[in-house]
């Protein structure tokens, strides 16, 4: 009870003190302070009021969002429009009674009417083909074509068709389909001069990690030159699995 009585005396005193200090301020500062206080109170009231407003969404928003999620998921799974047009989506609708029913539909007729791919008339040089030339290959769309080109640049060229298995996302079934349609031109491979390549040039290759490059450079600095893959194997400079993959990219001359 004593605390309540004490508070009743304190609060009026604090209010009077604030008003006295406000009165002592210049008129311009008084107006600015009052204005800021009013804006803060208005902002607080708006925040509180928004919480009590009913949520309003246009009709069909939920269905639109659901279909958008389904389409984005299908785009993530499909690499090309040919794959996309063949993939049905489940459209969820509500009839007039409120009962949910599901029906299937495919993509617009624009995509379905596109001509099917024509296979190349002769095998394609996968080390010199651009992304447009790769598109007729079965199962290869713009995404996979771009990835094949980028990984080819990173490698310095493909040594064999099986390396396409290392391209992100391409399924093994697709590689088996395109295997008869492509060939490897070994003259297009950009080889690494093992006796003169810098540390960063060696490390840039996806088959070599930091420790392997470090061991290779230290051995080269000690030995002076490296004559063959057999020398690297005999001195255990690289793991056998690494040496088998990287040997086609080393120039020992």
What pLDDT was estimated at residue 79? 56
- pLDDT classification of 26: cutoffs 50, 70, 90: confident
Task: Give the burial class of 219: count Cβ atoms within 10 A of its Cβ; 0-12 exposed, 13-18 middle, 19 or more buried.
Answer: middle
Residue closest to 196 by CA, chosen among 158, 253, 153:
253
Task: Give the burial class of 246: count Cβ atoms within 10 A of its Cβ; 0-12 exposed, 13-18 middle, 19 or more buried.
Answer: buried
- β pairing state of 192-193 and 250-251: parallel
Q: Is the pLDDT of residue 186 over 80?
A: yes
Residue closest to 225 by CA, chosen among 189, 196, 190:
196
What pLDDT was estimated at residue 61? 59
Residues 112-128 have a mean pLDDT of 68
pLDDT digits (tens, 9 = 90+) for 134-178: 999 999 999 999 999 999 999 999 999 999 999 999 999 999 999
Count Cβ atoms below 10 Å from residue 120 Cβ, excluding itself. 15
Lowest mean pLDDT among 1-5, 106-110, 234-238: 106-110
DSSP notation for 170-219: --HHHHHHHGGGEE--GGG---EETTT--HHHHHTSTT--HHHHHHHHHH
């Amino acid at each position: 009870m004593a605390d309540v009585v004490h508070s009743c005396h304190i609060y009026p005193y604090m209010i009077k003190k604030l008003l006295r200090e406000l009165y002592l301020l210049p008129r311009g500062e008084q107006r600015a302070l009052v204005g800021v206080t009013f804006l803060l109170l208005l902002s607080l009231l708006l925040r509180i009021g928004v919480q009590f407003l009913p949520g309003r969404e246009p009709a069909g928003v939920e269905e639109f969002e659901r279909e958008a999620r389904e389409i984005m998921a299908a785009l993530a799974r499909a690499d090309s429009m040919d794959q996309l047009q063949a993939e049905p989506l489940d459209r969820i609708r509500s009839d007039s009674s409120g009962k949910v029913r599901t029906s299937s539909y495919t993509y617009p007729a624009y995509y379905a009417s596109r001509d099917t791919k024509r296979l190349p008339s002769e095998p394609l040089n996968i080390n010199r083909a651009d992304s447009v030339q790769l598109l007729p290959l079965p199962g290869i769309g713009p995404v996979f074509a771009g990835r094949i080109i980028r990984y080819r640049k990173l490698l310095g060229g493909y040594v064999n068709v099986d390396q396409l298995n290392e391209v992100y996302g391409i399924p093994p079934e697709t590689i088996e389909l395109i295997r008869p349609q492509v060939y490897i031109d070994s003259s297009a491979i950009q080889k690494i001069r093992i006796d003169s390549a810098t540390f960063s040039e060696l490390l840039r290759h996806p088959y070599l990690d930091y420790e392997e490059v470090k061991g290779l450079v230290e051995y080269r600095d000690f030995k002076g030159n490296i004559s063959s893959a057999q020398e690297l194997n005999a001195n255990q400079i690289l793991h056998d699995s690494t040496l088998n993959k990287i040997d086609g990219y080393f120039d020992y001359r």
